[in-house]
Amino acid sequence: MNTLETILGILAFAVVIAVLYVWGLKKSYTQSADLERILLSKSAGKVVNYLKKNEEITLSQMAQLCTGVKAGQFWSRQKAAVQNPKAFAPKLAQYMVEQLLLEKSSNGRYRLKK
Protein backbone atom coordinates (compact mmCIF):
# COMPACT_ATOMS: atom_id res chain seq x y z
CA MET A 1 0.00 0.00 0.00
CA ASN A 2 1.47 3.30 -0.97
CA THR A 3 0.95 6.68 0.69
CA LEU A 4 -1.60 7.89 -1.90
CA GLU A 5 -3.91 4.95 -1.15
CA THR A 6 -3.53 5.53 2.57
CA ILE A 7 -4.38 9.22 2.25
CA LEU A 8 -7.40 8.47 0.03
CA GLY A 9 -8.60 5.83 2.51
CA ILE A 10 -8.34 8.24 5.42
CA LEU A 11 -10.17 10.98 3.47
CA ALA A 12 -12.94 8.57 2.41
CA PHE A 13 -13.35 7.46 6.04
CA ALA A 14 -13.51 11.09 7.19
CA VAL A 15 -16.17 11.93 4.57
CA VAL A 16 -18.32 8.96 5.61
CA ILE A 17 -18.07 9.92 9.29
CA ALA A 18 -18.94 13.56 8.47
CA VAL A 19 -22.02 12.49 6.46
CA LEU A 20 -23.23 10.22 9.28
CA TYR A 21 -22.69 12.98 11.84
CA VAL A 22 -24.68 15.53 9.79
CA TRP A 23 -27.45 13.00 9.19
CA GLY A 24 -27.71 12.29 12.94
CA LEU A 25 -27.66 15.98 13.77
CA LYS A 26 -30.51 16.64 11.33
CA LYS A 27 -32.50 13.75 12.80
CA SER A 28 -32.07 15.13 16.32
CA TYR A 29 -33.22 18.62 15.26
CA THR A 30 -36.39 17.30 13.59
CA GLN A 31 -37.15 14.60 16.16
CA SER A 32 -39.77 16.55 18.14
CA ALA A 33 -41.66 17.50 14.97
CA ASP A 34 -41.49 13.89 13.78
CA LEU A 35 -42.82 12.61 17.10
CA GLU A 36 -45.68 15.09 17.00
CA ARG A 37 -46.53 14.03 13.45
CA ILE A 38 -46.50 10.36 14.47
CA LEU A 39 -48.69 11.16 17.48
CA LEU A 40 -51.19 13.02 15.30
CA SER A 41 -51.21 10.20 12.76
CA LYS A 42 -51.83 7.50 15.39
CA SER A 43 -54.59 9.54 16.99
CA ALA A 44 -56.16 10.22 13.60
CA GLY A 45 -56.29 6.48 13.00
CA LYS A 46 -58.19 5.97 16.25
CA VAL A 47 -60.66 8.71 15.32
CA VAL A 48 -61.22 7.25 11.84
CA ASN A 49 -61.86 3.80 13.34
CA TYR A 50 -64.37 5.36 15.73
CA LEU A 51 -66.10 7.21 12.89
CA LYS A 52 -66.42 4.03 10.82
CA LYS A 53 -68.83 2.80 13.50
CA ASN A 54 -70.39 6.15 14.46
CA GLU A 55 -71.73 9.08 12.48
CA GLU A 56 -70.08 12.06 14.20
CA ILE A 57 -67.56 12.93 16.89
CA THR A 58 -67.05 15.91 19.20
CA LEU A 59 -63.79 17.36 20.47
CA SER A 60 -64.39 15.89 23.92
CA GLN A 61 -64.85 12.43 22.40
CA MET A 62 -61.63 12.93 20.43
CA ALA A 63 -59.89 13.81 23.67
CA GLN A 64 -61.13 10.58 25.27
CA LEU A 65 -59.92 8.52 22.31
CA CYS A 66 -56.48 10.14 22.37
CA THR A 67 -55.85 9.52 26.05
CA GLY A 68 -52.83 7.27 26.44
CA VAL A 69 -51.62 7.43 22.83
CA LYS A 70 -47.82 7.17 22.65
CA ALA A 71 -45.37 7.61 19.78
CA GLY A 72 -41.73 6.75 19.37
CA GLN A 73 -39.10 6.11 16.77
CA PHE A 74 -37.35 2.76 16.62
CA TRP A 75 -33.85 4.27 16.75
CA SER A 76 -34.48 6.57 19.69
CA ARG A 77 -35.38 6.17 23.34
CA GLN A 78 -37.32 9.43 23.31
CA LYS A 79 -41.10 8.99 23.30
CA ALA A 80 -44.07 11.34 23.02
CA ALA A 81 -47.46 10.87 24.64
CA VAL A 82 -50.69 12.81 24.86
CA GLN A 83 -50.41 14.53 28.23
CA ASN A 84 -53.36 16.92 27.97
CA PRO A 85 -56.04 15.39 25.72
CA LYS A 86 -58.33 18.45 25.91
CA ALA A 87 -55.59 20.69 24.49
CA PHE A 88 -54.55 18.05 21.93
CA ALA A 89 -58.04 17.44 20.49
CA PRO A 90 -58.40 20.80 18.63
CA LYS A 91 -54.94 20.34 17.11
CA LEU A 92 -55.92 16.83 16.03
CA ALA A 93 -59.17 18.06 14.51
CA GLN A 94 -57.35 20.77 12.57
CA TYR A 95 -54.77 18.23 11.35
CA MET A 96 -57.49 15.84 10.18
CA VAL A 97 -59.40 18.59 8.37
CA GLU A 98 -56.18 19.71 6.64
CA GLN A 99 -55.47 16.08 5.65
CA LEU A 100 -59.02 15.89 4.22
CA LEU A 101 -60.04 13.10 6.57
CA LEU A 102 -62.77 15.03 8.38
CA GLU A 103 -65.25 17.74 7.60
CA LYS A 104 -66.86 20.02 10.13
CA SER A 105 -70.50 19.37 10.80
CA SER A 106 -73.02 21.35 12.84
CA ASN A 107 -72.56 22.20 16.53
CA GLY A 108 -68.80 21.67 16.60
CA ARG A 109 -69.04 18.06 15.51
CA TYR A 110 -66.93 16.35 12.88
CA ARG A 111 -67.64 13.50 10.46
CA LEU A 112 -65.67 11.55 7.90
CA LYS A 113 -65.16 13.34 4.61
CA LYS A 114 -67.12 11.71 1.83
Judge whether 43 and 69 are in contact, CB under 8 Å. Answer: yes
Decide: residue 43, CB within 10 A, 0-12 exposed, 13-18 middle, 19+ buried: buried
pLDDT of 78: 85
Tell me: the pLDDT tens digits for 49-65? 999 999 899 999 999 99
Tell me: the pLDDT tens digits for 37-46? 999 999 999 9
Closest to 62 in 3D by CA, of 102, 34, 114, 106: 102
The CA distance from 81 to 68, in Å, is 7
CA–centroid distance for 3 within its chain? 49
pTM of the model: 0.75
- Report the percent of the chain where pLDDT is more than 70: 99
Cα diameter, the chain: 78
Judge whether 76 and 31 are in contact, CB under 8 Å. Answer: yes
The CA distance from 56 to 6, in Å, is 68
Q: Is the pLDDT assigned to residue 114 strictly greater than 90?
A: no
